[in-house]
Amino acid sequence: MVNIAVLGYGTVGSGVVEVIHTNHERINQRIGDELNVKYVLDLRDFPGDPIQEKLVHDFNVIVEDPDVQIVVEVMGGIEPAYTFVKRSLQAGKSVATSNKALVAKHGAELLSIARDKNINFLFEASVGGGIPIIRPLNSSLTADEIEEITGILNGTTNYMLSKMFYEGADYAEVLKEAQDKGYAERNPEADVEGYDACRKIAILSSLISGQQVDFEDIYTEGITNITKEDMMYAKEMGMTIKLLASSKRDNDHLHAIVAPALLHKEHPLYNVNDVFNAIFVHGNVLGDAMFYGSGAGKLPTASAVVADVVDEAKHLNRNIMTMWKNEKLELLPLDNTSKKFFVRIKGDAEAMKAHLESSFGPISIVKVDGLNGEFGFVTEEMTEGSYKEKSAEFPGIIHMIRIEE
Amino acid sequence: MVNIAVLGYGTVGSGVVEVIHTNHERINQRIGDELNVKYVLDLRDFPGDPIQEKLVHDFNVIVEDPDVQIVVEVMGGIEPAYTFVKRSLQAGKSVATSNKALVAKHGAELLSIARDKNINFLFEASVGGGIPIIRPLNSSLTADEIEEITGILNGTTNYMLSKMFYEGADYAEVLKEAQDKGYAERNPEADVEGYDACRKIAILSSLISGQQVDFEDIYTEGITNITKEDMMYAKEMGMTIKLLASSKRDNDHLHAIVAPALLHKEHPLYNVNDVFNAIFVHGNVLGDAMFYGSGAGKLPTASAVVADVVDEAKHLNRNIMTMWKNEKLELLPLDNTSKKFFVRIKGDAEAMKAHLESSFGPISIVKVDGLNGEFGFVTEEMTEGSYKEKSAEFPGIIHMIRIEE
């Protein structure tokens, strides 16, 4: 029998218990042994729930029980999750977690403890919910140099942007709708400001570089400034706007960014709508690939956590994933990266085009019926640094959105 | 040093050598040892190619060399590939192959030899080219009962159907174009008759059931009867036509089919165009997921083969994949499966509707401007057996295409 303890009986925690119960036969067959939930840690009680008899309120009961071989951490947040995970690993118990904040901040250290103890620290569910991406990057795309990884990594904002695109709704409206449906929190900051996506791309960047990428170093811009009018311009250009989290290789370095971006119809991420997530990967020999699925939700996330548990149960005394080292990777400055920019500006296109072109070089004008006193233009490819410098000359600029080619 | 031998220096074989050369540093780092191509087996000589000095014409040189730990089989076809792979495994050498015909026919036996010898027989490249699908099914989606797997598994036919859809071209035209571009063979049977996709879905069906699914048992219909007119109806209905290979669970059984199908715009496979492949998976807890990428081509396929080699090099004396047993799985009869049918028929819709509905039940009529003397209709969901029986009463039926919901 393989005994596990689940830390946290919230949405994901109860999902983990449910998945193990629903698919126990198939799971035990894959492990070649019986998987048993011995404890569930939660401060609350759940009278009437069959879990009540396994419930403990004291983490020490779990960490001191030599029968517990695997700990599932699904509490979220840094503390006490960090302390509990570290103590579990030090006690020789493998850990599976869905906690992106924990992995982004302490991944390298926790991986190194697992390596020393010849056990495992796995976190498939921390990025892309149920979508397999950590394991494919680590075990499947091993013949490639990964040159780019760009994802729609936050379901809430993707739901909101999809609504704005297809229904012409405005930001405040769709936020309220997302909150009413339970897709967005009352305090939606982590989603709409891009913080959630930022931690996820930090994890993916660490994976593809093999070094620690600090999420604090990643330029992050949310969707709070995206308006109904921006979407009208996007449609006019045959594009859409998505919140992209992206990491691109430049020789031995990476540049990473989280920001809304304009995407052409032909881009594989263009059609990823609603709460779905997708991760686009470009390998130097593989070419383009994409992984798509439910980026959040109780059961999809629990599916990924339990898959990690299955892997850990099959490899109780063997470290199986390479992952990344503690050594920090300095990201390239955003100012050095090149792209095309879409800019909305006040004024009259005909009157201003020559002046704009004398600064930005050749531009193409975009006009939208019904939007008066303003127009849009698209630059040729230029560096962010150069764009910043030039745009400072034009106080009439309303908004800039990067174009993803 | 880990020594490998490559059997066959054709497109994929030369790709394997190129990938190992291009990414040798990263690959060696991942293995933790140096990967060396010791031999290449081919009947031909390649004077001037650096591979010439490693070239052998006799397989015995390879199988008898104890230094060769991994054999890469990329010759294609059943013989002599089967004999060479079997002898390699029996000699204790792990094998990586891209050969779908071999895996579909002899997979169970070869897997069982690898298990007995505590080595590995891997074949990621046999389905979906560079797209990771075998390893994710085997190692990532382990918390799920896989209820459906439906793929666009053949790039040639997908290229042709995309052209027919977007450009209104006819079958003969696009076939010639695909042949001119090198996407289709002079004898295009394996692609256009669905035989290639059939072997691939047989492999995936075996994987998700854990038992041998014989490709001969899978109902297979190619795209040779799909016309420009069919595409006009598809567009009229807001749908497209794709060659789908599908395997769906019904309790402990599967039903599998390869056939052209009408897809709604909302289906994740709707936007998979040109030579790209994609595999849609539905798990009972994961929900929907999709894997997308280059389904063929020299380097993408080689990328998947080399990823298998990396895995085998890291696990030289340890069997790592569960895969499937020799025990045969009987598929459910096609006649018992239920779906909606789109039917083209000669005659006048108004005059015939009542008669059709007295047989098929409620139908919805589809008419296309410019197509006279015929019309289309869509049935409610019914079994294939029932459709067959009822359609026999209407000799005016031109063509039937299944609808994928």
Instruction: Report the percent of chain A where pLDDT is more than 90.
Output: 94
Q: Which of B237, B260, B291 is the last residue of a domain?
A: B291
Mean pLDDT of B137-160: 96
Domain shared by A174 and A281, yes or no = yes
Q: Helix crossing, A349-360 with A384-391: angle to 10°?
A: 130
Domain shared by A270 and A306, yes or no = no
Domain shared by A282 and A302, yes or no = no
At residue B357, φ and ψ (nearest 5 deg) are: -70, -25
Give the pLDDT band of residue B182 (cuts 50, 70, 90): confident
Residues of B in contact with A313 (CB under 8 A): none
* Closest chain B C-alpha to A72 CA, distance in angstroms: 14
Mean pLDDT of A45-65: 97
- Integer-rounded Cα radius of gyration of chain B: 23
* Closest chain B C-alpha to A300 CA, distance in angstroms: 4
Domain shared by B58 and B21, yes or no = yes
Considering the domain boundaries, does residue B325 fall inside one? Answer: no
* Closest chain B C-alpha to A137 CA, distance in angstroms: 10
Domain shared by A288 and A307, yes or no = no
Mean pLDDT of B97-124: 97
Please answer yes or no on whether A299 and B311 come within 8 Å at the CB atom.
no
Considering the domain boundaries, does residue B383 fall inside one? Answer: yes
Supply the pLDDT for residue B252: 83
Of A287, A292, A302, the CB nearest to B285: A302
> pLDDT per residue over B78-99, tens digit each?
999 999 999 999 999 999 999 9
Catalytic residues of A: 200
What CATH number is attached to the domain comprising B213? 3.30.360.10
Please answer yes or no on whether B145 and A297 come within 8 Å at the CB atom.
no
Domain shared by B182 and B284, yes or no = yes
Give the pLDDT band of residue A322 (cuts 50, 70, 90): confident
Considering the domain boundaries, does residue A135 fall inside one? Answer: no
Domain shared by A104 and A161, yes or no = no
Supply the pLDDT for residue B266: 86
Q: How many CB atoms lie within 10 A of CB A54?
A: 18
Supply the pLDDT for residue B331: 95
At residue B21, φ and ψ (nearest 5 deg) are: -70, -50
Domain shared by A173 and A263, yes or no = yes
Please answer yes or no on whether A143 and B309 come within 8 Å at the CB atom.
yes
Instruction: Report the percent of chain B where pLDDT is more than 70.
Output: 100
Give the pLDDT band of residue B113 (cuts 50, 70, 90): very high
Mean pLDDT of B112-116: 97
Instruction: For chains A and B, count residue pairs whose Cβ atoms are closer than 8 Å.
Output: 167
Please answer yes or no on whether B285 and A299 come within 8 Å at the CB atom.
yes
For B311, the closest chain A residue by CA position comes to: A139
Considering the domain boundaries, does residue B326 fall inside one? Answer: no
Q: Of A226, A232, A197, whose CA–CA distance to A101 is shortest? A: A197
Give chain B's mean pLDDT. 96
Domain shared by A210 and A160, yes or no = yes
Supply the pLDDT for residue A252: 83
Q: Which of B279, B314, B349 is the last residue of a domain?
A: B314
Q: How many CB atoms lie within 10 A of CB B391?
A: 17
> pLDDT per residue over A123-142, tens digit each?
999 999 999 999 999 999 99
For B26, the closest chain A residue by CA position comes to: A145
Q: Of A66, A122, A56, whose CA–CA distance to A94 is shortest? A: A122
> pLDDT per residue over B214-257, tens digit each?
999 999 999 999 999 999 999 999 999 999 999 999 988 999 99
Mean pLDDT of A211-216: 96
Number of domains within chain B: 3
CA distance A170 to A110: 42
Supply the pLDDT for residue A366: 98
> pLDDT per residue over A279-290, tens digit each?
999 999 999 999
Instruction: Report the percent of chain A where pLDDT is more than 70.
Output: 100
At residue A264, φ and ψ (nearest 5 deg) are: -75, 155
* Closest chain A C-alpha to B371 CA, distance in angstroms: 31
What CATH number is attached to the domain comprising A371? 3.30.70.1150
Considering the domain boundaries, does residue B235 fall inside one? Answer: yes
pLDDT > 80? residue B195 = yes
CA distance A385 to A219: 14
Domain shared by B207 and B276, yes or no = yes
Greatest Cα pair distance, chain A, in angstroms, is: 77
Domain shared by B84 and B166, yes or no = no
SS (H, E, C) A281-320: EEECCCEEEEEEEECCCHHHHHHHHHHHHHHHHHCCCCCC
Supply the pLDDT for residue A145: 95
Residues of A in contact with B284 (CB under 8 A): 22-23
Considering the domain boundaries, does residue B329 fall inside one? Answer: no
Whole-angstrom distance between the N-terminal and C-terminal Cα of chain A? 51
Of B26, B143, B290, the CB nearest to A23: B143
Supply the pLDDT for residue B224: 97
Mean pLDDT of B54-78: 97
pLDDT > 80? residue B322 = no
- Is residue B328 part of the annotated active site? The answer reads no
Supply the pLDDT for residue B405: 85
Considering the domain boundaries, does residue B51 fall inside one? Answer: yes
User: Partners of A20 in the beta sheet?
Assistant: none
What CATH number is attached to the domain comprising A65? 3.40.50.720
Q: Are residues A291 and A278 in contact, defined by beta-carbon separation less than 8 angstroms?
A: yes
Structure token pair of residue B272? 């998979």
- Domain of residue B218 covers 143-291
CA distance A30 to A380: 54
Give chain A's mean pLDDT. 96
CA distance B379 to B342: 7
Helix residue ranges, H only, B210-288? 228-236
Domain shared by B99 and B167, yes or no = no
Considering the domain boundaries, does residue B328 fall inside one? Answer: no
Residues of B in contact with A136 (CB under 8 A): 132, 135-136, 140
Question: What is the torsion angle, in degrees rounded to the nearest 10, for the CA atoms of residue B157, residue B163, residue B164 and residue B165?
Answer: 110
